[in-house]
Structure 1
Amino acid sequence: MPLKIYQLIILLMSAAASAAAQNNQLKGHVLTSDGASAEGVTIVLGKHNTTTDNKGNFTLRNIKAGTYQLVASFVHHQPIEQTIRIAEGETTMVELRLEWNKEELEAVLVSAKKSNYNVVSLDPTLRIQGKPLEIAQNIQIVSNRTLQSQQIISMSDGVLKNISGAMRQEHWGDLYTNVKMRGGQLHAFANGFNMVTSPWGPLTEDMSIVDHIEFVKGPAGFMLSYGDPAGFYNVVTKKPTGAERGAIDFTAGSFNLMRIAADYDGVLGKNGKILYRMNAAAQKKGSHRPNEFNDRYTIAPVMKFKLNDRTQLTAEYNLQLANMSDVGSYYIFSPTGYKTLPVETTQLPAGLPATKIADQRVYLQFEHQLSENYKLTAQTMYNSYNSKGSSLWPEAINSDGTYIRSAGIWDTKSTLTMMQAFINGESYTGNVRHRILAGIDAGEKKYYADWTKTHRLDTSTWNPLTQSGSLPTAGYPDWDRSEPLEQRATLGGGTNFVNYSGIYIQDELGFLNNNLRITIAGRYTSFSQAMYGGAALKVDKITPRFGISYSITPSTSVYGVLDQSVIPQTGLMADNSKVKPITGTNTELGFKRDWAGGSWSSTLAVYRIVRRNELTADPNSPPNSGRSVSLGEKTALGVELDIRGTLATGLHLIANYAYTENYVSKVTPGVTAFAKGQQIPGFAKNTYNATVRYQLPVPALKGIGAQASFSYLEGRSTYSLTNDPSRNMEDYHRMDAAIFWENHQFGVQLQCYNLFNQYLYTGGYYDFLNSYYWQTEPRRNFRLSVHYNF
């Protein structure tokens, strides 16, 4: 939209709003009984309401002149009231002093955060301001309390049952999490940075360092339009809180699981200017398949320096070390169908050298309060990832199900260097509120992989039914790694180089006492990517964003959003034309409501995502030519419902449902690999998830409770492209159950996974192997955890 038109729209809206509203304001400061600033206090004046910021300040605008009762309230405390008179055309100032001190206030804040299943605020790394209720975007948050209560220890360990429509495409066990949703693969973010360097990464975060996980559905151009139109998930790591506390968790379970994690949070010195947090974990873990293991070691120190009242610097280091069995061992194969081999079948022989991984991340974040209403944030991160190992894969599958096992070298290395700087805040033009976000970001990503060498493990055919896990008759591989990995990867075509930069601006305009919010934004992205030894593809793209959100009541809102994204791709066009990037457009409508004062929330959304320009093999060229044509168009549409929070004292619920229709909507003439209306692989049409946790209210049984979870995936398509519906997977049913006892200091929980002992799997069909492939989940198994706060 041209700038002059944009300015004219704002001017007209401002004039209309000014004619209908008054410019009367109330500004206040809330103190505790011992004179400290009180954060998070709810302020209500007639139909106006807000909460105090971290300095105890609040502002209410556009108040009709008159006399009111001002009410200040805080969780578990008696509210206080004060009579306020608002004069015409003036700003009224007020100071309130609560009846409880700073220590009591902080204790309640820490307690509320610990027990909260419904997070009602967004992390600053998402850059946007306001409550999730007010934002024209579907954002679902998995809280730390949810992770703890479900005994989740890694990103691939059941997180997705808490999000509508999210599915994990199994690949390489716990190495990384491939999240499918809304017709695409979500990009993996960490603390606001896009961590994706290849289709195989990044390494999953150990939950010992994770505070919460934000799932942003749709392109979300305010973060990074270079990504899949389905959205992304943002893993937010733990930061210092200023509270002196610690925790130790011990977990033991089936398949020789032994794990310990520690969390220390505190302040250095007497002036409270230096805060620290240290998280560490060590894990030994086996598998329901023989010879598999996944040992992890994690350490994450964080320091926050309060340089002055307006400026702070946070430095964070994450180190994750993994020692795991061959990454391809999780697959099993059969030409006759899924579930035709026992759950514990494995092609992995004992003694095959382990895959070793080292993932290091450094974050630096600088925050400066420019004024009362505007803040500058500049942050950078560096990631170094190295792995050395192998991947098992059959050369061919015989009609009787036998094959020769083959191990391929799988050494990888990647580095990511990224930076961001942005300003956000609020200001007013007359009675129109502006929530401004403007910033820049840039990054460089380098990825190298050597997959060029293979070694046959067997001298004759191997039978998975009778020789599961047997030793290799042809011996173990001994690959030549004398050349640097970068050189081996370059010669073998296993490279991916990415450079990008972007600039964006977003304005959320608030009208009618900020009940009507209109978002207008745009982003310019410059991107260059060279994959598999090919020439670099350069893309310069402007992606607009338009959203509208309206608060029907203070706890109910509706929204709509139109957003775009761009995904670069490489290839050689059959007509020698320039390769175009994949573009995605998301159109979405939604309804949000907070219930019982925010104790629980619900979101209902309907969406339509269109992906264009995706490449496929040229049907009129030889198969080995490497020439491509544009497929045409893919469309994903669906309905999603998410409910989460505390329904009553001791009763917590997380429930969701999603209907997903994902199909080819247009086909380029001559393309035969796809047909119009064909279902896109890797999704379920209907997904249902629910987790109920209940703690008994009986005083004599205080702290005792039970938890149950179920997941049901209906209409699962195969994870590989096929026109044969008989190759689709059967429906998925899983039930987990737990009993627990906890108080403010101790907690003990025993959990049973796959309670009904089902044969659970995910997989697909490979035409080039003429075989089904799948990965199994363990049958009934248990996990016991003990938690101690100090």
Structure 2
Amino acid sequence: MRNYGLWLALIILYSTKAFATSPEEAGGSIKGTVTTTEGQPAPEVIITIKGTSRGAITDEAGGFEFRRLAPGDYILHASLVGYQTVEASATVAEGRSTDVTIQLTISTRQLQDVVVTGNRKFRSGLVSPSLRLTTPILEVSQNIQVITKGLIADQQAFDMLDGIQRNVSGAQKVEHWDNYARINMRGSQMTAFRNGINVQMPWGPLTEDMSMVERIEFIKGPAGFMLSNGEPGGFYNVVTKKPSGTNKGEVSLSLGSFDLYRATADIDGKLSADGKLLYRINVMGQAKGSHRDFEFNNRYSIVPVLKYLVDDKTSITAEFTHQFSQMNVVGSNYAFSKRRYADLPVNFTTAEPNLDPTVINDNSLLLIFEHKLNNNWKLTAQGSYLHYNQVGQSIWPWSYSGNNDSLMQRGISIWDALGINKSGQVFVNGEVATGAVLHKILGGVDMGHKDYFADWGQGAALGSDDFNIYNPQYGQVPASAIPAWDRSKSIRERGVRYNNNYASYYLQDEMAFFRNKLRLTLAGRFTTNKNINPYSGNTEDSKFTPRVGLSYSINKNTTTYAVYDQAFVANPGLDWQNRNFSPVTGDNVELGVKRDWFNGKWNTTLSVYEITRNNVLTADLEHPNPVTGQYSFNRQSGQQKTTGVEFDLKGELARNLEVVTNYAFTEARVTKDSDPALVGNQVAGATKHLHNTWLSYKLTEGKANGLRFSLGYQYQAGRSSWFVFDNSESSLPDYFRLDGAISYYNNKFGINLNVNNLLNSYLYSGGPNYGSGYYWQAEPKINSRLTISYKL
């Protein structure tokens, strides 16, 4: 960490340089500021000019600007979700700039409580209420990166597996089974949250479809002051769409490579004349093939939400999510070879065309109660119930035929699963002053009960042992030779049970000194984890995890921060002796600097950190599973240490040019292990260099107004496999992918064409196949998606 101070000093000096402004353009202009009732800046407010299609969104300083306006009188509308529109008039003269100030009818506190709608295309300065914070991202002593719905739409990401992670430094998607996302960061798996609730399962839940998503928030570091039971590397929080109180809607139709057909509808509005009962419903249907033979993923989702405004202080929200997925047999998206990586075509599969699909039903219910106790205090209570049901099977290589590395014996087994998560949260946010010090208080309790049952204990050979991976002949296995699984007992009776119960109590005080230039955060959380396992009995672990954060505003646009916090996470599962694992504990030390440029048009974050993780699970390569013969057990290797540097830039870098670019250097090493030979090895799933960029330029003049061009790339170097890594020739090669898009949008109509993997490269991730060769997942070569949308 001693060299990181130089990085911070250089970036602070660079950040404080002055920049010259460009001269005024021809015509007149309107420059304005929007404030709250206390006169504070109001960001994320939509400003429109009545009778025209011109619109803008206020920046972090509440500012907006309209250029190239013809002389005359104009009426401006300032609107915010769920609140009354405010009008203001302005007169424009040729070559002159008119200044306007608009004051909203809401307070700063109310503004912070509004659901963040991601109006700005590529960046946002506020977190969602589900993160429990009322402090702007710029001032929080934590590295938080937000992926807006505008960026998701520009890249045409349909779910969490479609490259969402490219927009955040250090985030890396590893192999998946087409049903749930595994994203690594800072040397560990990121924990999955939805609307502020931990929904992580051993294998699940079903990855969220982007049709129901408002934004995705990546929180780096343990962040125990916000949410419990997360890995020290961080977590991601998927925020679903909520009612806005405005009658609007949008429908879309998508077509693409590999027989992709997709349709969505998003309807938002009021159900009652008095505007107290609001609704929103998102519906999606999709049929999707693949670049691999016999692979598919057909899905649909229905997400209705109701919100009732009891009065100006109290609201109740109910959200139901139903997601359905029918996909190919699990495991068929892997390729295997004893020779080397990537020596099979991208369409290779071990599956057969007549195998039954895997079917997943993912249902969840979320209830939120919010009540403003007074102008300074707010109470939030929410409960969640998630029910995940999977009926299917998986396919894996069992062996090769003697010394012949071409002939494989495939094995097939049942894989049914049932996941039930019940969570409850109650917390309060408030402000109180003691002399010249302002205290922002956060306190509450989190509780959760998780059950996961999995049956993969029934297996059989699939076909004969002469399946030639270099000349595969499909359709040779008759239906009579495919085993029928015994499901006469319920999954609770025949499945292996993973269970975790947790309860956490926390309190945080963010103290603001010197008129909020310096902020000191002191927080603590006490967590109890209970793991119940039929093989080894019950275990219970408790730990107090402290947090200390310091944030200093050099000026209104530049903040430096330092933070120390800890993590405490249950380790579900059993080792080869059916023993439970001890919890993961982690320590995080981090320094950083954040800056908003040109009143928030774009933002940069630079951070350096060091994380120590204890009781880490790694692959156990000494004890194969007696049922399958595969090395499927884990062991606790001891300790890992991760140090790194991360940089993020998001926003409008120049007029009409929006950019997301990031870089992460990650040095993750094993520092303690029961096997001394492993000490010093790179941690599995940690890539040393990650660099991503996405550029988008929009034309705003003449007949081409609304036309947008986008181009982006992903680069990875120093890759390791995610499951096991031995620093040998099993290392993965460097990765580079280039994507592009062209789109057109006006007030109602939009069309977006994305072409991925423009260089038609053979791209993949994978690892050593437990001493018998290699496995990998190949990405599709050049492919495209076309989406047409219409706003109702």
> C-alpha displacement at 1:683, in angstroms?
2.2
Whether 1:206 and 2:209 are equivalent positions in the alignment is yes
1:692-771 correspondence to structure 2 within 5 Å? 692-768=695-771, 770-771=772-773
Which stretch of structure 1 is more off in the superposition, 287-296 or 469-478?
469-478
TM-score by length of 1: 0.84
In structure 2, what residue type is equivalent to 1:353? D
Cα gap change, 1:385 to 1:656, in 2 (>3 Å): same
- How many angstroms apart in 2 are the aligned matches of 1:749 and 1:626? 43
Which stretch of structure 1 is more off in the superposition, 476-485 or 176-185?
476-485
Counterpart for residue 568 of structure 2: 566
Cα gap change, 1:277 to 1:622, in 2 (>3 Å): closer
- How many angstroms apart in 2 are the aligned matches of 1:424 and 1:374? 6
1:19-418 correspondence to structure 2 within 5 Å? 41-42=34-35, 50-51=41-42, 75-76=64-65, 99=88, 113-173=118-178, 175-198=179-202, 200-398=203-401, 399-418=404-423
Is the 2:585–2:613 contact (alpha carbons within 8 Å) kept by the matching residues of 1?
A: yes
> C-alpha displacement at 1:648, in angstroms?
2.6
Is the 2:508–2:523 contact (alpha carbons within 8 Å) kept by the matching residues of 1?
A: yes
Cα gap change, 1:430 to 1:782, in 2 (>3 Å): same
Counterpart for residue 777 of structure 1: 779
> C-alpha displacement at 1:578, in angstroms?
10
Is the 2:536–2:578 contact (alpha carbons within 8 Å) kept by the matching residues of 1?
A: no
- How many angstroms apart in 2 are the aligned matches of 1:528 and 1:112? 37
C-alpha RMSD of the superposition: 3.2
- How many angstroms apart in 2 are the aligned matches of 1:726 and 1:257? 37
Whether 1:481 and 2:483 are equivalent positions in the alignment is no
Counterpart for residue 659 of structure 2: 653
Percent identity between matched residues is 41
Is the 1:128–1:222 contact (alpha carbons within 8 Å) kept by the matching residues of 2?
A: no
- How many angstroms apart in 1 are the aligned matches of 2:388 and 2:157? 24
Equivalent residue in structure 1 for 2:472, among 451, 467, 470: 467
Cα gap change, 1:720 to 1:532, in 2 (>3 Å): farther
Cα gap change, 1:383 to 1:348, in 2 (>3 Å): same
- How many angstroms apart in 2 are the aligned matches of 1:578 and 1:463? 40
- How many angstroms apart in 1 are the aligned matches of 2:282 and 2:408? 45
- SS class of match (2:537): coil
Is the 1:502–1:524 contact (alpha carbons within 8 Å) kept by the matching residues of 2?
A: yes
CA deviation string 1:289-336 (max 9, x = no partner): 111110011010001100011100000000001111111110110000
> C-alpha displacement at 1:436, in angstroms?
0.4
- How many angstroms apart in 1 are the aligned matches of 2:373 and 2:263? 42
CA deviation string 1:632-660 (max 9, x = no partner): 32001100001111123321100000000
1:541-552 correspondence to structure 2 within 5 Å? 541-552=543-554
Cα gap change, 1:376 to 1:269, in 2 (>3 Å): same
- How many angstroms apart in 1 are the aligned matches of 2:297 and 2:579? 47
Counterpart for residue 595 of structure 1: 597
Is the 1:117–1:644 contact (alpha carbons within 8 Å) kept by the matching residues of 2?
A: yes
Cα gap change, 1:235 to 1:433, in 2 (>3 Å): same
> C-alpha displacement at 1:705, in angstroms?
2.1
Whether 1:667 and 2:673 are equivalent positions in the alignment is yes
Whether 1:640 and 2:643 are equivalent positions in the alignment is no
Cα gap change, 1:334 to 1:574, in 2 (>3 Å): closer
- How many angstroms apart in 2 are the aligned matches of 1:161 and 1:724? 25
Which stretch of structure 1 is more off in the superposition, 641-650 or 750-759?
641-650
> C-alpha displacement at 1:408, in angstroms?
0.9
- How many angstroms apart in 2 are the aligned matches of 1:488 and 1:463? 34
Is the 1:333–1:401 contact (alpha carbons within 8 Å) kept by the matching residues of 2?
A: no
TM-score by length of 2: 0.84
Whether 1:504 and 2:509 are equivalent positions in the alignment is no
> C-alpha displacement at 1:723, in angstroms?
2.6
> C-alpha displacement at 1:269, in angstroms?
2.0
Is the 2:292–2:347 contact (alpha carbons within 8 Å) kept by the matching residues of 1?
A: yes
Counterpart for residue 497 of structure 2: 495
1:422-433 correspondence to structure 2 within 5 Å? 422-433=427-438
> C-alpha displacement at 1:454, in angstroms?
1.0
Is the 1:347–1:468 contact (alpha carbons within 8 Å) kept by the matching residues of 2?
A: no
Counterpart for residue 19 of structure 1: none
In structure 2, what residue type is equivalent to 1:217? K
Which stretch of structure 1 is more off in the superposition, 402-411 or 615-624?
615-624
CA deviation string 1:525-581 (max 9, x = no partner): 111013574322211110000100001011110001101011233789999999642
- How many angstroms apart in 1 are the aligned matches of 2:44 and 2:250? 28
Counterpart for residue 524 of structure 2: 522
Cα gap change, 1:113 to 1:581, in 2 (>3 Å): closer
Cα gap change, 1:144 to 1:391, in 2 (>3 Å): same
- How many angstroms apart in 2 are the aligned matches of 1:629 and 1:257? 41
In structure 1, what residue type is equivalent to 2:231? D
Is the 1:334–1:397 contact (alpha carbons within 8 Å) kept by the matching residues of 2?
A: no
Give ranges in structure 1 of 5+ residues lacking alignment: 1-38, 55-71, 79-96
CA deviation string 1:152-201 (max 9, x = no partner): 1111111011011111111212x000001101000000000000121x11
- How many angstroms apart in 2 are the aligned matches of 1:784 and 1:417? 39
Is the 2:252–2:790 contact (alpha carbons within 8 Å) kept by the matching residues of 1?
A: yes
Is the 1:250–1:786 contact (alpha carbons within 8 Å) kept by the matching residues of 2?
A: yes
- How many angstroms apart in 2 are the aligned matches of 1:40 and 1:334? 63
CA deviation string 1:67-122 (max 9, x = no partner): xxxxx9653479xxxxxxxxxxxxxxxxxx9626999989xx99995442111111
Is the 1:362–1:383 contact (alpha carbons within 8 Å) kept by the matching residues of 2?
A: yes
- SS class of match (2:122): coil
Is the 1:225–1:543 contact (alpha carbons within 8 Å) kept by the matching residues of 2?
A: no
- SS class of match (1:339): coil
> C-alpha displacement at 1:582, in angstroms?
1.9
Moved over 6 A (4+): 101-106, 109-112, 570-579, 616-629
Equivalent residue in structure 1 for 2:444, among 439, 442, 451: 439
In structure 2, what residue type is equivalent to 1:633? Q
CA deviation string 1:742-766 (max 9, x = no partner): 1121111111110010001010012
Cα gap change, 1:448 to 1:372, in 2 (>3 Å): same
- SS class of match (2:343): coil
- How many angstroms apart in 1 are the aligned matches of 2:387 and 2:633? 34
CA deviation string 1:232-286 (max 9, x = no partner): 0000000001111000111100000000000001012221111110100000000
In structure 2, what residue type is equivalent to 1:99? A
> C-alpha displacement at 1:449, in angstroms?
0.5
- SS class of match (2:492): helix
- How many angstroms apart in 1 are the aligned matches of 2:174 and 2:700? 40
- How many angstroms apart in 2 are the aligned matches of 1:745 and 1:619? 57
Give ranges in structure 2 of 5+ residues lacking alignment: 1-31, 46-60, 68-85, 91-100, 106-113
In structure 2, what residue type is equivalent to 1:241? S
Is the 2:501–2:530 contact (alpha carbons within 8 Å) kept by the matching residues of 1?
A: yes
- SS class of match (2:442): strand
Cα gap change, 1:616 to 1:272, in 2 (>3 Å): closer
Task: Tell me the matched-pair count.
Answer: 704
> C-alpha displacement at 1:681, in angstroms?
1.4
